A and B are shown apart, each in its own frame.
Chain A
Amino acid sequence: MAEPLLNLSAGADTWLRRVRTSGSSSGALMTLIGLCVVFSWITDTFLTSANLVNIATQSTVLLLIALPMTLIIMTEGLDLSIGAVLTVTNVVLAMVAVQTGGVWWALLAALSVGAVFGLVNGSLVARLGIPPFVATLGTLGVAQGLALVLTDGQSVVGIPESVQYFYSGTLAGVPLPLWIAALTYLVFHGVLYHTRFGAYIFALGGNREALSLAGVRTQVYWIAVYIVGGVMAGLAALVLTARISSGHPTAALGMEFDAIAAVALGGTSFEKGKGWLLGTLLGVLAVGVMRNGLNQVGVNSAVQVSAIGFLVIFALMIDAYRGRRA
């Protein structure tokens, strides 16, 4: 899936220069290319357009939560709760959709529940000074429990067709989730590289003191980053609910670690506000290609489990090796 190179007002050269400077670590790029070559060499069904679309569609949900995770990690933060929040918003969206028979109220409910969790995360970190790992570990528990309480363990069914359309439907031949993912990536790209909020995210990670001295209300933007995380979990819930056409109390538990791994794979570092959005996209695709390829080849599932671990460590080794040399 060609990454949309459209960018708003900045000249092309600055974008490329930014890739060269912050894109120095290309562990994800090399891993992705390596995997594609190996899999297309081993099985002919890998490099078919149907399969590639397949990988992209499956990776949509992970991308939708990996993008905000990139911003949060760039502010030297972390969001362990995004997987559980995605689960509880999936349940909420399903329940409201079943009640109202439509998708819009359900989406609104999911986005607002996500925003509330984001606000709680942000306030705990920004106002009360609780380390992000601890704060979001707390909200992880709360969201996970809430999903169980709301459904008492039962999955929510009877999802109206209008919701399922968001996964099965296509627009101009391209599956809807791909449009959602591409549009979201563009918005994030625009926000991070072309808006004040984006510059402040770099500053929140790079030098928070400088931001407050510049007369900017840092607390507001710091909390906003976590709210974006929550809201994106709500949006991802739309695609997830459409995909599994139900709300399930354990649907996306553990997905937060996949997101963090994809972001790290993509070269965003845990300190000093060094972030690279395209890297995250590559990281998500690398994970998707790995899983799909191994399924295609029919590799023993135990080997598949280990392969994911090797993938993460390999990519980081490349960065550490290049980092030391560069």
Chain B
Amino acid sequence: MSDSLRPSAINSQQGPAALWGALPDSMQSVALRLAALAILCLLLSLASEAFFTTSNILNVLRQAALLFLLASGLTLVILTAGLDLSVGANVALSACLAATLIKGTGSIAIGVVAGLSSGLLIGIANGLLITWVRIPPFIATYGMLWILHGITYWFMKGETIHGFPPAFRAIGSGYWLGIPVPVYLMGVFLLIGLVFAQRTRWGQEIYAVGANPEAARLSGVPVKSRLVLVYAVSGAMAGLASLIFLARLNSAEGDIGESLTLPAIAAVLIGGTSLFGGVGSMLGTLIGALILTLVLNGMNLLAINANWQPVVTGVIVVLAVFFDNLTRKGDKR
């Protein structure tokens, strides 16, 4: 097609293909994932009658809520082609800090503020290490993971802190109008995340930084402060998730967040956010978290030996990204 300057004919496909073609990339990947989620629910409800009961659905939603809160912060980080391996350790430290303060001062507010701010500070530290000291995100957050674990172990000395006031425990295991509280939080932060990513200037700048950081910098976008912002949000969300964990488990110990980091990253990847940056959505991450939790819940209900769970999780992550490569139009990075 010659490089003539005449505006070429508007997209000529007719019918549904045009409709599908017209959908921007991110909407297509979300639609595909919703379909996969629906099929999964159908299969599970056929396979085990205990699946499609309200109590199980609420149970799945609550488990997915915790995973989503952690993964939502991570989504922004991965959008900038970065990574945060320290979220699990962040949850551990923030939870123990909050637990100690709630027990010590007896006031829930102080504990909650402590948990959130510790998460935020850890996130900011990650951001500064990556932007000012210029250490690759993978290694910076890996180092931070060890430092945080060390601090938590030193701080907790192997103790566990248990038994918290019912008011605090409500945010983790409480019900309101029959629906677990964390599910509301999931809804609220899904909205905040969507609005922030799609409907604010900073969100657009984060997508641009992920797509081409040098072009963003040379367009006057403050790349460094956006990166610090992204890691700070990821840290803060880990702080929030730690509070809910604390409330739900009703006790804090050294390795509370240990097993959360990889599932959270998996949820983001299954949700369609690309590791190369610039592509992805918060809605996708929610669906990713739901798919991951549903599969594990289904396996438990069908009493499939727990040993198979890591195998299934691994296969799903690869399949999700493989289908993405197929559907994404010519975005061979």
A interface, CB within 8 angstroms of B = 124, 128-131, 133-135, 137-142, 144-146, 148-149, 152-153, 257, 260-261, 264, 270, 300-313, 316-317, 320, 323-324
Number of interface residues of B (CB under 8 A): 48
Query: Given contacts A137-B262, A142-B314, A301-B153, is CB(A313)–CB(B325) below 8 Å?
Result: no
Return the CB mask of B294-333 against A: 1 if under 8 Å, else 0.
0000000000011111111111011001100100000010
Query: Given contacts A133-B275, A301-B153, A317-B133, is CB(A140)–CB(B314) below 8 Å?
Result: yes
- A148 and B310: CB pair below 8 A? yes
Query: Given contacts A137-B269, A309-B144, is CB(A302)–CB(B135) below 8 Å?
Result: no
When C-beta atoms are compared, the residue in chain A nearest to B147 turns out to be A309
Within 8 A of A (CB), among B58-110: 85
Q: A136 to B152: give the CA distance in the assembly, Å.
A: 30
| Interface flag for B43 (CB, 8 Å) | no
Q: A322 to B313: give the CA distance in the assembly, Å.
A: 41
Contacts of A139 on B, CB cut-off 8 Å?
314, 318
When C-beta atoms are compared, the residue in chain B nearest to A305 turns out to be B150
Within 8 A of A (CB), among B255-278: 262, 265-266, 269, 274-276
- Chain B nearest Cβ from A324, distance in angstroms: 8
| Interface flag for B149 (CB, 8 Å) | yes
> Interface on chain A toward B: helix, strand, loop, or mixed SS?
helix
- A309 and B315: CB pair below 8 A? no
Q: A323 to B150: give the CA distance in the assembly, Å.
A: 29
Q: A103 to B149: give the CA distance in the assembly, Å.
A: 39
- Chain A nearest Cβ from B37, distance in angstroms: 19
- Chain A nearest Cβ from B77, distance in angstroms: 13
Contacts of B134 on A, CB cut-off 8 Å?
320, 323-324
Q: A12 to B139: give the CA distance in the assembly, Å.
A: 33
| Interface flag for B175 (CB, 8 Å) | no
When C-beta atoms are compared, the residue in chain B nearest to A319 turns out to be B135
Contacts of A135 on B, CB cut-off 8 Å?
318
- B307 and A145: CB pair below 8 A? yes
30 interchain pairs, CB-CB under 8 A: A124-B318, A130-B318, A134-B321, A135-B318, A137-B314, A138-B314, A139-B318, A140-B314, A141-B312, A141-B314, A142-B311, A142-B315, A144-B310, A145-B307, A145-B309, A145-B311, A145-B314, A149-B308, A152-B305, A260-B142, A300-B154, A301-B153, A302-B153, A305-B150, A306-B151, A309-B144, A312-B143, A316-B135, A316-B136, A324-B134
